[in-house]
């Protein structure tokens, strides 16, 4: 009996430790999702829109400069127009590809949510079964049939739990390592985002200078 009780305590300590590590992992995952979404929003609504604004101003200045040398529409102006059309076509394609990738990510998050809801339902069902078992014990003064295992059977079930914990530990450690790698990549992407923004701002300053002095090249 004492050996079995010690075994139960050991198994509980392993299970509770796994629970803590799993919730810590989950908190890091949620944090990473928030950082990734923040970076994505900053790249799309911030950097990309500023870059597009730069493109529009570059096109305006370039067309003005090219038009200076031609009073009528000619191949030179059309070549400039064509370059920007091809660029816009590529952007449209990239936007569609990114939307497709994001939709796939949303579907995966929805699947994860469905699994969470299923887990919640399992908790509710278990709690209900334990409440029913409690009522049965109170009314009959006996344990329900599913709680009538003998010592050998209990020992066997605890050993199954221990083996399952060992397998879970390996999987959990892999996930923790993978999450650490994702966090490092998120940090690198955040820095890259800031660096790219600095480049866009420098381009903006250059374009502003050209636009301000545009009359010099168009007179």
pLDDT average per 10 residues of sequence, the chain (219 residues): 88 94 96 95 94 94 82 77 96 96 96 96 96 93 87 91 93 96 96 95 91 77
Residue with tokens 């009522």: 135
- 198 touches 48 (CB < 8 A): no
Number of domains in the chain: 1
C-alpha to C-alpha distance for 159 and 152, rounded to whole angstroms = 11
Range of the domain at 35: 2-218
Rounded CA gap, 141 and 212, in Å? 91
Q: In whole angstroms, give the CA distance from residue 176 to residue 49.
A: 36
pTM for this structure? 0.84
- What whole-number distance in Å separates Cα of residue 123 and Cα of residue 119? 6
> What is the Cα–Cα distance from 161 to 178, expressed in whole angstroms?
25
């Amino acid at each position: 009996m004492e050996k079995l009780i010690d075994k139960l305590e050991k198994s509980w300590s392993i299970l509770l430790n796994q629970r803590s590590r799993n919730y810590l992992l989950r908190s890091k995952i949620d944090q990473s999702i928030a950082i990734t979404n923040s970076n994505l929003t900053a790249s799309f609504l911030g950097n990309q829109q500023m870059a597009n604004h730069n493109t529009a101003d570059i096109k305006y200045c370039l067309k003005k400069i090219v038009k200076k040398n031609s009073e009528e529409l000619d191949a030179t102006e059309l070549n400039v127009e064509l370059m920007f059309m091809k660029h816009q076509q590529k952007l449209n394609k990239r936007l569609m590809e990114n939307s497709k990738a994001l939709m796939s990510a949303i579907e995966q998050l929805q699947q994860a949510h469905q699994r969470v809801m299923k887990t919640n339902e399992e908790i509710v069902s278990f709690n209900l079964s334990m409440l029913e078992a409690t009522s049965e014990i109170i009314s009959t003064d006996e344990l329900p049939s599913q709680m009538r295992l003998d010592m050998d059977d209990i020992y066997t079930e605890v050993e199954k739990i221990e083996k399952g914990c060992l397998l879970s530990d390996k999987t959990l450690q892999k996930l923790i390592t993978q999450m650490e790698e994702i966090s490092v990549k998120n940090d690198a992407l955040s820095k890259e985002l800031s660096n790219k923004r600095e480049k866009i701002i420098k381009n903006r300053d250059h374009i502003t200078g050209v636009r301000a002095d545009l009359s010099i090249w168009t007179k």
